[in-house]
Structure 1
Amino acid sequence: MNRRLTWTLASLGLLLGLAIAGCASERPSVRPPQLTMDQISELYIKQALALGEHDPNLVDAYYGPKDWQAQAKTRKRTLIEIRNVLVRLYQDIDSAPTDTSVQPELWNLRRRHLRNQIAALEARTRMLEGWKPSFDDESLALYDISAPFYGQEDFKPMLASLDRMLPRGGGTLTERYNRYLERFTVPPNRVEEVMRIAIGAARERTLQYFRLPEGERFELALVKDKPWSAYNWYQGDFVSRIEINTDQPLTVARALELAAHEGYPGHHVFNVLIEDQLVRGRGWKEFTLYPLFSPQSFIAEGTADYGIELAFPRAARVALIKKLMAVSGLNPGEAETYDAVVQATKLSGAATVEAARRYRDGQADAAQTLDWLQTYGLATPERAQQRLEFFDRYGAYIINYAFGEAVVGGYVQRSVGESEPDYARWRALFDLLTTPRTPQMLMAE
């Protein structure tokens, strides 16, 4: 029996047991009335908001009815109360009446997406109650997928290639790499200007292929003392607040990556299109709430990372790097070599996932994890410490980045074909951003 099927059967058994236990002391004589999908959607939102009172990291964005949020704050509900409702919603969603005005395929996508979101909330509730899953079990429970394993041998070709590309000098390979990157650091007094130029360029590229609703915009803020390098806080009404953490130096290439990931065609565009197409267009209220620890994050992070390459293929990327270098007072003549070095380190994302798995599963302590992150993730000591703090706070969430990008990229390629022009890939990404999908569906299709 495969790992995923074993986990799924065990989870369904647990859900059934919980439902029986919840009814044992007070068994109703009449079954509760059948819930519609919209009623399930509303109850799902209310459970997520209630759970957010126990877990401040859970609710990443919410722009639904304000009184639902107020109720969650004034009437604190226990974890078992929340979980009992989630169990019922999970059981009832398959029998919810079908809306015949919606295409059957699309309606089933909505049903499957919402079922997975409910299951993730129930799993997160159990974690808050004390359940401590393995890294992979947490990945499956919260994100509907688990990342492949990597060993030290998998990263040696990357390190060997990087060794050949970097200037010679003293120190370890990671130290040489980071010394090289330091040459392309954006001066602190130019960070905001560089980020605005990069986001503007990403927006311009995206608008060549996507029509976004009138009034969409972003607010940019520079922050400190965060375990992440950047964050998009979606406000609703087609507005995002993009925060850039200035604790660590910002390189030119990283500015470009964050512009696409947090802005266009990444998180900002994803949230704008969801609000426009699914919330306002179809009235599906469940999308007014984004629970961070859910399969939706795998889609969000995977599409955002994939969007970097889509928005900036090599020629466009190098052109923007040259522009950002000039604004930063750096030498644009080094842009092509610099870009080649950065692109050669792509596998360091997988190394970071593996570091998190080993650390969270107790196979490596903090010191060993910091060493792994510096050796195979090519991180500076400061960046490695920041990533360790990320693992402590967000657990298996790290799989959603590099692995999410790989899965989304594979899905788009299978949907379009390698010989198709760029606009076909943009169209496939648009469909993915505006249609409910689950991570397992991206693997299967």
Structure 2
Amino acid sequence: MNAKRFLSTLTLLSVTLLSACGKAPEPPISNDFSPLAEHYVRLVLALGEHDGSYVDAYYGPAEWPEQVKQSEKSAADIASAARTLQAQVTAEQLSDPMLRLRQHYLAKQLTALISHADTLASGSRAGFEQQAQALYDTLPPQHALSSFEPILQQLEQLVPGEGNLTERVVAYRQQFVIPQDKLQPVFEQAISECKARSASHLALPAHESFTLEFVQDKPWSGYNWFKGNAFSLIQINTERPIDISRAVDLGCHEGYPGHHAYNALLEQHLSKDLGWVEFSVYPLFSPQSLIAEGTANYGIEMAFPGEQKLAYERDVLYPLAGLDASKAADYDRFLKLLAQLSYAGNETARLYLNNEIDAEQFVALQQQYLLQSEAEARQRLRFVEAYGAYVINYNWGKDLVKAYIEQASTEDERWQRFMTLLTTPRLPSSMDW
């Protein structure tokens, strides 16, 4: 029995029982969000006409995008229509837990849509905190850049060589770069292992699949383009050198149990099984992205807990790439320390988006606190200019997901909680519902 028919039967049964007891039944609350959800999808598609990055994936009715395009709604009109729709979505109080999650999901996604539409209509960029709260349903912690100095001091002792710390780190990492002619086999092997480990815990659609491509001239290192019907195009950006640790990271993040698994499972469980049309579209600048990026990043640790990632890289990927596996443990220690600088990237983005620093100062701070080469720092600048406060979804999103998952005490329970995030309409503010 599908969910809608079950709820109708349950309502009818409740009315019958109340009548039999001599009590007048209360009018049943409408649980059919389909017309509202369709309106939401059309508004997302309409806003995508004003921002080419906004609609990350769409696999709903083929005629809707063309119909929306012909309507030629302005960004201001879209924001106004979204406000009206949000009031309709939140008009009733629902008792069913899953329907409350659905209602909350639509309301928060509409908050993000309204904010982004207002920004496009005004032509002015919102600040870091406003973007974080309105678009991603959260406010990340703030750290003074000086708080990262102790980590930099530890790296000073760890990385030998000549020059300043950034120069030494850039030089040190060169010995772990995957040769161009080894990228295809290394990534194919890594994604295969990520899939095998994830599939032993997640019930993936039987027909799911992906295609792997290598591209250049992008502001990101990897991207999953979900096409619907459990199929993804996974792209890896090769314009900058890719070190050996990124094979598993991107294989899990873009593939399994990350974006590909997330989108395929949402499509199966919510779009197909329940007929919830709002899950036929994925607006990038929305709270859904924090769950998507958070699960994708924490999914690396789910698939490779403890020291398993190091062991797999040392025993399989290093030899496949022709790299010196005897250095794997030292590099792993270095990377774990480097990862503690991640939130410094949020702070450079905060300063830049709040107009407290200019582009050149951003690049300099990225080099100083993230230990990036100038080319890497400028690529990051392109990312922040294109995607704004989206950067919080990777580290803060991961930490929120980690806190949710690690409430469980066993591996099986952790995977069950992970599966819950991949198959229900949970957002940052409803994660623990």
**TM value normalised by structure 2:** 0.90
Which of 416, 419, 425 is the aligned partner of 1:427? Answer: 416
Please say if 1:95 is aligned against 2:84: no
What are the residue-to-residue correspondences of 1:56-95 with 2, within 5 Å? 56-95=52-91
How big is the shift at 1:97? 8.6
Q: Deviations over 1:415-440 (max 9, x none)?
A: x1xxx232221111101111111212
Partner of 2:332: 339
Which of 324, 333, 349 is the aligned partner of 1:356? Answer: 349
Partner of 1:372: 365
CA–CA distance in structure 1, aligned partners of residues 295 and 110 of structure 2:
22
> One-letter code of the match for 2:385?
D
What are the residue-to-residue correspondences of 1:288-367 with 2, within 5 Å? 288-322=280-314, 323-367=316-360
Instruction: Determine helix, strand or coil for the equivalent of 2:338.
Output: coil
Which of 272, 276, 280 is the aligned partner of 1:280? Answer: 272
How big is the shift at 1:348? 2.2
Instruction: Determine helix, strand or coil for the equivalent of 1:378.
Output: coil
Instruction: Determine helix, strand or coil for the equivalent of 2:202.
Output: coil
Instruction: Determine helix, strand or coil for the equivalent of 2:322.
Output: coil
CA–CA distance in structure 1, aligned partners of residues 150 and 411 of structure 2:
30
Instruction: Determine helix, strand or coil for the equivalent of 2:143.
Output: coil
> One-letter code of the match for 2:427?
T
What are the residue-to-residue correspondences of 1:113-128 with 2, within 5 Å? 113-128=105-120
Question: Does the 8 Å CA contact 2:101/2:430 hold for their aligned counterparts?
Answer: no
The answer to which of 114-123 and 174-183 deviates more is: 174-183
Partner of 1:244: 236
How big is the shift at 1:96? 5.3
Question: Does the 8 Å CA contact 1:36/1:97 hold for their aligned counterparts?
Answer: no
CA–CA distance in structure 1, aligned partners of residues 278 and 319 of structure 2:
45
Instruction: Determine helix, strand or coil for the equivalent of 1:235.
Output: strand
What are the residue-to-residue correspondences of 1:7-406 with 2, within 5 Å? 36-95=32-91, 104-130=96-122, 131-166=124-159, 168-322=160-314, 323-406=316-399
Question: Does the 8 Å CA contact 2:109/2:286 hold for their aligned counterparts?
Answer: yes
Q: Deviations over 1:300-356 (max 9, x none)?
A: 001111111111123320122121110111111211111111111112221111110
Gap runs ≥5 in structure 2: 1-29
CA–CA distance in structure 2, aligned partners of residues 36 and 105 of structure 1:
14
CA–CA distance in structure 2, aligned partners of residues 35 and 269 of structure 1:
28
Instruction: Determine helix, strand or coil for the equivalent of 2:339.
Output: coil
> One-letter code of the match for 1:147?
P
CA–CA distance in structure 2, aligned partners of residues 232 and 346 of structure 1:
23
Question: Does the 8 Å CA contact 1:35/1:92 hold for their aligned counterparts?
Answer: no
Equivalent pairs counted in the alignment come to 402
> One-letter code of the match for 2:269?
Q
> One-letter code of the match for 1:51?
L
Partner of 1:21: none
Partner of 1:12: none
How big is the shift at 1:139? 1.0
Partner of 2:12: none
Please say if 1:407 is aligned against 2:400: yes
Question: Does the 8 Å CA contact 1:146/1:399 hold for their aligned counterparts?
Answer: no
How big is the shift at 1:78? 1.6
Tell me how large the CA RMSD over aligned residues is.
1.6
How big is the shift at 1:79? 1.9
CA–CA distance in structure 2, aligned partners of residues 35 and 279 of structure 1:
16
Q: Taking every aligned residue pair, what percent have the same amino acid on both sides?
A: 38
Q: Deviations over 1:287-307 (max 9, x none)?
A: 110000000001100111111
Q: Deviations over 1:162-187 (max 9, x none)?
A: 22222x21111122122111101000
Partner of 1:437: 426
Question: Does the 8 Å CA contact 1:60/1:290 hold for their aligned counterparts?
Answer: yes
> One-letter code of the match for 1:75?
S
Question: Does the 8 Å CA contact 1:305/1:405 hold for their aligned counterparts?
Answer: yes
Q: Deviations over 1:262-295 (max 9, x none)?
A: 0111000100110111111111110110000000
How big is the shift at 1:70? 1.4
CA–CA distance in structure 1, aligned partners of residues 429 and 189 of structure 2:
36
Question: Does the 8 Å CA contact 2:31/2:99 hold for their aligned counterparts?
Answer: no
> One-letter code of the match for 2:182?
R
Partner of 1:6: none
CA–CA distance in structure 2, aligned partners of residues 329 and 70 of structure 1:
50
> One-letter code of the match for 1:424?
E
> One-letter code of the match for 1:95?
A
